[in-house]
Structure 1
Amino acid sequence: MKNQVFKSFVELTGHPFSSMLLRKFTTSVVSKPLIKPFASFYHIQTDEAEYQMTEYNSLNDYFTRSLKTNSRPIDPDPTILISPVDGVLSCAGVVNDTQEFLVKDKTYSLSALLGDSSKAVPYQNGYYYVFYLSPRHYHHFHYPISGELISRYALGTTSYPVNDLGIRLKKDLFSTNYRLISEIQSAFGKVAVVKVGALNVNSIQLADSSKDCIKGDDFGHFAFGSTVILFIENKHTLTPLHQAFTEVKVGDRIGVWQS
């Protein structure tokens, strides 16, 4: 029974009414008693949270928690690309010439994901990483590299659950979900950070509107389960440092550029 209840918080269908009810419940004080069993069920590392569990007023407050200062060390080396999230590196590789990439054993169009074929051009033959965040993960996203924000835009209107069933039933899942794309101009070329909403509530919150991107800085969070995809421009040689199905945390070294 507990399994079904908690799954409903992170794996709803895209129905707007049920999503609205979920938002109301999880953001209200009524959900506060569920924080402790939720943390226990998903084996969340409670000692990393910024505050004591009793100080959060709703399940959503706890789910979107910040971490204690210095919980995620950041490598200052400018040639190092770091993981922008805590999660599972579900797949990674080179974007092929037909602008398709692999996500959970299915291929998706790069141009459809970014919304325009011209947006996809810089990332052709570049590198990509796909990170899946489960309910147990810290749900903030951070800058993977320093640089200047040159583009930020949203696409899609409907979100579906990011799980195996959702992907089987919705072939173009990632090309129709609500997503927020941030493009960073770095010393090694463009880096696109694609945040994909997992539920109809589309709860992707940005920390601010700054154009200064500092590697490791927090620049937003998800309110529910989610996926983050990085696209790296094919301008300088990038050597990946992790294989697929690797558990990573914010700040972990995932690639190195040739200086």
Structure 2
Amino acid sequence: MPAQPITFFSRLTQRIETESVYGEGFLRFTYETAPGLLPLHAVVKRAAFSRWYGARMDAPASRAKIAPFLATYGVDTAEFADPPESFRTFNEFFYRKLKPNARPIAAGANEVGFPADGRHLVLPDIAACDSFFIKGVRFDLAALLGDAQQARRYEHGSLLISRLCPVDYHRFHFPCSGTPGEAKQINGPLYSVSPIALRKRPSILWENKRELTVLRTENFGEVLLLEIGATCVGSIVQTFTPGVPVAKGDEKGYFRFGGSCFITIFEPGKIRFSDDLIEHSRAGREVYARMGDVAAYAQ
């Protein structure tokens, strides 16, 4: 049986496209074959494996990977704040900064911006979601938050999943203005967050190592922001200062090497997602959009 391609709708091109998956052969072996389950559970999901791979991406020799990566995936270097030849390691290139005007931020006070570049999927009412990637599998909010009481407060809230691929810009930003609290760490393994993995094991999103920040806002209530770790993510780095007010689009932090994910959760009745997100999410299809573009509106 041929491998099922990963498709998404691109806001940039206004058409359905096929994702070029970094490390696809390895992912399909470990998550789609019986022999692959042994290395997956014995080695790949463990933090030590990701630390080892992250250290390789911090080594000077990893610099040689940058030019081939740019050529293969067509990354737009004109957006970079620093030229590609200035990066001393692959990881420095991976969590690169962009020019200030590279990502316009949704200007309206009633607009929520995407927190990161990536492929986005929404659940307008978390509790009403009948399936998540696999029919009959519901999103386990209590497991994700590690707090049953907090989960009850948000169970009919709205959830945005922003999945970053290795080819994406890997800094994440605040989707709206407000005052952030401390980032709380919740331990877990480090499975891949690729759809190849999620189609086999949707629970990865509420099992993986993650960090949770509460953002108190004027227009959207208390918004929950979660960074989800993944295989080969060396670490999640927070660059914001807890307790200091932030503006929409301000940097919150960045992921070191690896595909990763950012989840944004809103209280019930606070927002309405953009029509294209609702339409494609109902069809089980992600929407590619960039950080700062409009994701939702105040309700």
Name the TM-score, length of structure 1 as normaliser.
0.87
For residues 154-209 of structure 1, the C-alpha deviation after alignment (integer angstroms, 9 at most, x for no partner) is 10232111124433554521222100111111112111111101126551101132
Distance 1:101 1:44 in 2: 37
Q: Of 244, 253, 258, which residue of structure 1 is paired with 2:294? A: 253
1:213 corresponds to 2:246 = yes
SS class of match (1:90): strand
The answer to whether the Cα contact below 8 Å between 2:181 and 2:242 also exists between their aligned partners in 1 is no
- Match status 1:197 vs 2:229: yes
Q: Deviations for 1:62-86, whole angstroms, at most 9, x for unmatched residues? A: 0100101121111232111110000
CA displacement 1:106-129 (0-9 Å, x = unmatched): 422101100011121331211111
Aligned sequence identity (%): 26
* Distance of aligned partners of 1:153 and 1:15 in 2 relative to their CA distance in 1, 3 Å threshold: closer
Greater per-residue strand proportion: 1
SS of equivalent residue, structure 1 residue 121? helix
Which moves more between the two structures, 163-172 or 47-56? 163-172
The residue aligned with 2:264 is 230
Return the match for 2:173 from 134, 142, 147.
142
- The reply to whether residue 15 of structure 1 matches residue 46 of structure 2 is yes
Coordinate RMSD, CA, aligned = 2.2
CA positional deviation for 1:102: 5.1
Aligned residues: 249
Q: Distance in 2 between matches of 1:104 and 1:67?
A: 32
Q: CA deviation at 1:16?
A: 4.0
Gaps of 5+ in 2: 1-21, 28-39
CA distance in 2, matches of 1:76, 1:205: 27
Q: Is the 8 A contact 1:49 1:68 kept in 2?
A: yes
Asked whether 1:58 is paired with 2:89, we answer yes
TM-score, normalised by the number of residues in structure 2: 0.76
| Code of the aligned partner of 1:206 | Q
Q: Where do residues 1-259 of structure 1 align in structure 2 (5 Å cutoff)?
A: 7=23, 13-96=44-127, 103-105=132-134, 106-167=137-198, 170=201, 172-187=203-218, 188-199=220-231, 201=233, 203-211=235-243, 212-223=245-256, 224-236=258-270, 238-241=271-274, 242-243=276-277, 244=281, 245-258=286-299
Rounded Cα–Cα distance in structure 1 between residues aligned with 2:70 and 2:91: 12
Question: Could you list the runs of 5+ residues in structure 1 that have no partner in the other structure?
Answer: 1-5
Classify the secondary structure of the residue corresponding to 2:160: strand
